[in-house]
Chains A and B, each alone.
Chain A
């Protein structure tokens, strides 16, 4: 009896394992037509949710930051499919402002050709080509940028990142304002950066399927980045700064990661 028991259980176990994993993957279902891919920019600070006006724990530089504004420009969205072909979203419609204060944290891209995409690419800021088109070529986006404090009034140009608030540190114990406005300085200093994110699973889109890419943003990396460390204690206002603003641009381009993909709706 014992042997037959063992044998039966073994069989049972085998069965359980065999009929599991990739049940009916209908991978071959043809994806036809086009659909929407939305991208959620979920702003956080060092693993926690980013809440304006609330002090965050000290960063690697020992500075405790309270963020009061966190806006940035996303542009030139492209998707690379599983065959390595790159699809570029209509350039004129591909400029977006992510604004924590206005709770603008999602962009919706219509009419993406059906398929499976492995990689998301976008820019942070406004590229030179667009910038050089002047106000005519930039159209409504210019107005939108102005409304979102993303334009420099004293020079023609966009702030790619508007990061403001107060901070304290060991030597500066009283809450002190900081302002980081990063952008290209005309055509002399180009701070536009490209971000390439490999997706943890392919994002699918078709007539029947709209999908979502949920990004997790870590705003703490703007100052305490992997590449550059910027001390507010040293300098509280960084705008046109030939040395620090390119460092901010690099750090900002490193604050994005993919948290998860939702194929077929969902959050």
Chain B
């Protein structure tokens, strides 16, 4: 990650994001994809729910490492629900300029929840189920499926939410700091990592990973901004493979429209995922670091305690695995019930 940031492009992006975040007084917050170390595969969908959610996913098809995690951010948004994340990648099968591309589809269904622990503490739990497939150059298809890496995070609200009963005419801020673990519940199969350019074609990282996360945002009338940053520290798995640490940054703007009983919230945002090199036996693995900058469009509809969301993400620029892996798109659909 340090190395990645030394890269001027990343630095510039990082700086821009940070500036946007802070200097507009808006900040950091919500949505962002998470990165995982391996190849970037990514997954990031995120969601916002009522303007304040975020999630991140990490590579390995998002799934593998924790898949995308969404944490709901503050604002009393406690919920549970299901989310589907689909990601399409293609990776170069070979070392030449004309080596064939193989298409990889990473699919994840997550059961996710934001549960209140105390007035200021929220637990975020994501249980992913993955089903990935890819078509190999000899026209055979490889499929892997199963439980992914479960993650559990805790968030602390630094700014107490204004009670619902008080209608505020001033901007309402939220700021959460959190951290947690991503457990090696998804299978890491070393064989999937051999003869393949994309090391993220896995159900899980196979390692205990640690997540630091920060969400900041505010709403003003029916407008809002949400930002998020999170960092996943990945450890060595039992096969002595270590996916690279991952930094995710994201910022979203949204506006909520009320149409009778339904609240409709369109969201636009950008996010950045930066992956450090993977290591095998303690040594960097060539062509495994990278970054991707994504644009996001999303819409969420809420009725009563139910929310339905739809998100599409497209890469604006990327350099994954020395351009040997390309993210094509990510989509996500979720259905939540507010507690």
Count class of interface residues, chain B:
35 or more
Q: Which residue of A lies closest to B177 (CB)?
A: A8
A265 at the binding interface (Cβ < 8 Å): yes
Closest-CB distance, B227 to chain A (whole angstroms): 10
Given A9-B18, A49-B96, are A21 and B3 also a contact pair (CB < 8 Å)?
yes
CB of A266 within 8 A of CB of B194, answer yes
Closest-CB distance, B180 to chain A (whole angstroms): 15
CB of B212 within 8 A of CB of A16, answer yes
CB of B95 within 8 A of CB of A20, answer no
CA distance A202 to B283 in the complex (A): 9
- Render B68-103 as a binary contact track against A, CB cut-off 8 A, 1 for contact: 000000000000000000000000001111110000
A5: contacting residue among B94, B216, B279, CB under 8 A: B216
B214 at the binding interface (Cβ < 8 Å): yes
Given A6-B22, A24-B236, A216-B95, are A261 and B286 also a contact pair (CB < 8 Å)?
yes
Q: Name which of A25-33, A92-100, A230-238 contacts chain B.
A: A25-33
CB of A204 within 8 A of CB of B193, answer no
Residues of A within 8 A of B169 (CB): none
CB of A201 within 8 A of CB of B22, answer no
Q: Name which of A40-48, A79-87, A120-128 contacts chain B.
A: A40-48
Q: Is the interface of A mostly helix, strand, loop or mixed?
A: mixed
B27 at the binding interface (Cβ < 8 Å): yes
B231 at the binding interface (Cβ < 8 Å): yes
CA distance A29 to B98 in the complex (A): 39
CB of B194 within 8 A of CB of A265, answer yes
**CB < 8 Å A-B pair total:** 110
B276 at the binding interface (Cβ < 8 Å): yes
CB of A20 within 8 A of CB of B96, answer no
Residues of A within 8 A of B (CB-CB), count = 41
Residues of A within 8 A of B280 (CB): 262-264, 266
CB of A44 within 8 A of CB of B1, answer no
CB of A47 within 8 A of CB of B2, answer no
A23 at the binding interface (Cβ < 8 Å): yes
Residues of A within 8 A of B247 (CB): 16
Q: Which 7 A-B pairs have the closest CB atoms?
A: A20-B1, A260-B286, A49-B96, A48-B98, A47-B97, A267-B195, A26-B282
Which A residues fall within an 8 A CB radius of B?
1-2, 5-6, 8-9, 12-13, 15-17, 19-21, 23-27, 29, 42, 44, 47-49, 200-202, 204, 209, 214, 216, 259-267
Known A5-B175, A264-B280; 20 more pairs at CB < 8 Å:
A1-B159, A5-B22, A9-B21, A9-B22, A9-B214, A12-B214, A12-B229, A13-B18, A16-B247, A20-B276, A21-B3, A23-B235, A23-B279, A25-B282, A25-B283, A42-B94, A44-B95, A200-B286, A201-B284, A267-B196
Which B residues fall within an 8 A CB radius of A?
1-3, 5, 18, 21-22, 25, 27-28, 94-99, 158-159, 173, 175, 177, 190, 193-196, 212, 214, 216, 229, 231, 233, 235-236, 240, 242, 245, 247, 276, 279-287
A-B contact pairs, 28 of them (CB 8 A): A1-B173, A5-B216, A12-B177, A15-B212, A15-B231, A16-B1, A16-B212, A17-B1, A21-B1, A23-B233, A25-B279, A27-B282, A29-B282, A47-B96, A49-B94, A49-B98, A200-B286, A209-B281, A216-B95, A259-B95, A260-B95, A260-B286, A261-B286, A263-B281, A263-B285, A264-B280, A265-B190, A266-B195
